[in-house]
Amino acid sequence: MDDRLKNLKKIMDKRTFTDLEFSNQHQKAIRKKINQFEVSDDEILLAVMQLLVQEKTGHELTVLLRGRGIQKFENNEGFLYTLLHRLEQSGCIETNWNESGAKYYWLKDKGRKLLNKAEQKRTKRRFVFKELLEG
């Protein structure tokens, strides 16, 4: 559990939930529902592209995605870098290394067009995702 959530839980235990008791069964049901919420690959792609409107490093992306509640790449950073590599290979993003050895990523015109298309047709994100990976 993230440290921020642990601290929030401690504070809420002391103030909010002092008079409430949850059975183990209820706690398990809540955990199960929380774990069912997974962000789809389409949503991750959309978030990455939105963040790459401005130049970012992979580390900056990781922090910003985590802030959006996307944790699919936790303990598997290869997922994010694979996605970035696909975006680069498809001509949607451009990359550059700076003097200190950090790699920066940003959207090219093709990526901006796909992002605009995805944002306009949020219900059809799967189509845009497949078009990107297959096109």
pLDDT in tens, the chain (135 residues): 567 777 777 777 777 656 667 788 877 777 666 655 567 777 888 899 999 999 999 999 999 998 888 877 777 778 889 999 999 999 999 999 999 999 999 999 999 999 988 887 765 545 566 666 665
What is the set of domains in the chain, with CATH numbers? 3-36 (no CATH), 41-134 (1.10.10.10)
Partners of 105 in beta bridges: 56, 95
Phi-psi category of 101—alpha, beta or left, where left has phi over 0 and alpha has psi -120 to 50? Answer: left
List the Cα angle 124/61/43 in 5-degree steps. Answer: 15
| Residue 122 to residue 42: CA distance in whole angstroms | 10
Q: What is the pLDDT of residue 8?
A: 77
Q: What is the pLDDT of residue 123?
A: 56
In angstroms, what CA-CA distances link 30 with 15, 24, 59, 73, 118?
A: 20, 10, 31, 23, 32
